[in-house]
Amino acid sequence: MDELDLPGPTRASVFEEDEDERYLVRSSTEICSILSTVSARHALARVSFNHGEDFILTTLLMIDPKAGYIVFEEGPDELRNQRLTEAESLVFVTQLDKIKIQFRMDSVEEVEFQGAPAFLSPIPSSLLRLQRREFFRVATLTSQPMNARLLLDGPKGPQPTTMRGIDVSLGGVALLASETIEGVAAGDTLRNVELNLPGIGQVNVDLAVQSVRPQHSGGKLCTRFGCRYINLAPAMASRVQRYINKLELGRAHRI
């Protein structure tokens, strides 16, 4: 069985459409081939949900290209399995030959497979295949939010703005504004952003905006920004890595 070669026994990661296109697989034939190998090797996998706050460990039991679905094991905790079925968005992550395989599932349903309970979900339309650690994202904790402070141009000039960091990696960060933000587009640069990492400290960096899209959160329409660091200083990168390690260690203790 392949192991997830990651620090600690768990890592909550988030798939986003603004990932570098070089790492996205969209060919249905190639996706089915990759997932067939995952299933054949009984590779350990993790399904994260509720914005990375919850997860189960599982294995991919089978893939049916003709019917268009996959089947994976239920977790040992019945309450987590129930929460998983109620989640609106889930992330399946595993590893093959030290290459990370990850895809999003919008829904699952409970089924019986070879006499045991399991989950069924449609074969994903795209799949992320990553080897570079800098792109491995970790969801932040809503109970200890990571905040970003910056200035955005407004009708009366630059306005102080605070956003919540919803995931972080050594390559970039995803920020969520609590309202609809206009005037910022993919390709823009956010200057002098202050990232406040709980328990670690502050990181000062410029961010290149990779994507901008609406996202519902807490019953309201917000704006999500997918960003890449611009020339992140080594000392700042060290703080980001310490924060990622802290998040992973906290999740490992919750197993």
Question: Residue 134: which pLDDT band, with cuts at 50, 70 and 90?
Answer: low
Q: What is the pLDDT of residue 22?
A: 62
Q: What is the pLDDT of residue 12?
A: 36
Q: What is the pLDDT of residue 6?
A: 36
**Residue 215: domain span:** 139-253
* Number of domains present in the structure of the chain: 2
- Please tell me the distance from the alpha carbon of residue 212 to that of residue 124, in angstroms, as a whole number: 23
Among 85, 119, 135, which residue terminates a domain?
135
Q: What is the pLDDT of residue 1?
A: 40
Are 105 and 149 in a shared domain? Answer: no
Are 26 and 123 in a shared domain? Answer: yes
For residues 186-212, one letter each, b for 16 or more C-beta atoms within 10 angstroms of the residue's C-beta and e for the rest, the string is: eeeebeebebebbebeebebbbebbbb
Least confident span in 42-46, 67-71, 121-125, 182-186? 182-186
Contacts of 97 (CB under 8 A, 6+ apart): 2
The CA distances from residue 193 to 137, 150, 160, 178, 243, in Å, are 19, 5, 11, 17, 17
| Cα–Cα nearest to 213, from 17, 15, 50 | 17
pLDDT tens figures, 26-43: 899 999 999 999 999 999
Question: In the predicted model, is pLDDT for residue 9 greater than 60?
Answer: no
Average pLDDT rounded to a whole number, residues 11-17: 43
Are 108 and 191 in a shared domain? Answer: no
Question: In the predicted model, is pLDDT for residue 127 greater than 60?
Answer: yes
Are 249 and 144 in a shared domain? Answer: yes
Among 108, 135, 162, which residue terminates a domain?
135
Question: In the predicted model, is pLDDT for residue 17 greater than 70?
Answer: no
Are 41 and 147 in a shared domain? Answer: no
Provide the 10 A C-beta neighbour count for residue 222: 19
Residue 228 domain flag: yes
Are 51 and 97 in a shared domain? Answer: yes
Among 82, 110, 135, which residue terminates a domain?
135
What is the pTM for the complete model shown? 0.55
pLDDT tens figures, 163-186: 999 999 888 999 999 888 888 999
Residue 220 domain flag: yes
Question: Residue 255: which pLDDT band, with cuts at 50, 70 and 90?
Answer: very low
pLDDT tens figures, 70-119: 999 999 999 999 999 999 889 999 988 778 899 999 889 999 999 999 99
Q: What is the pLDDT of residue 15?
A: 46
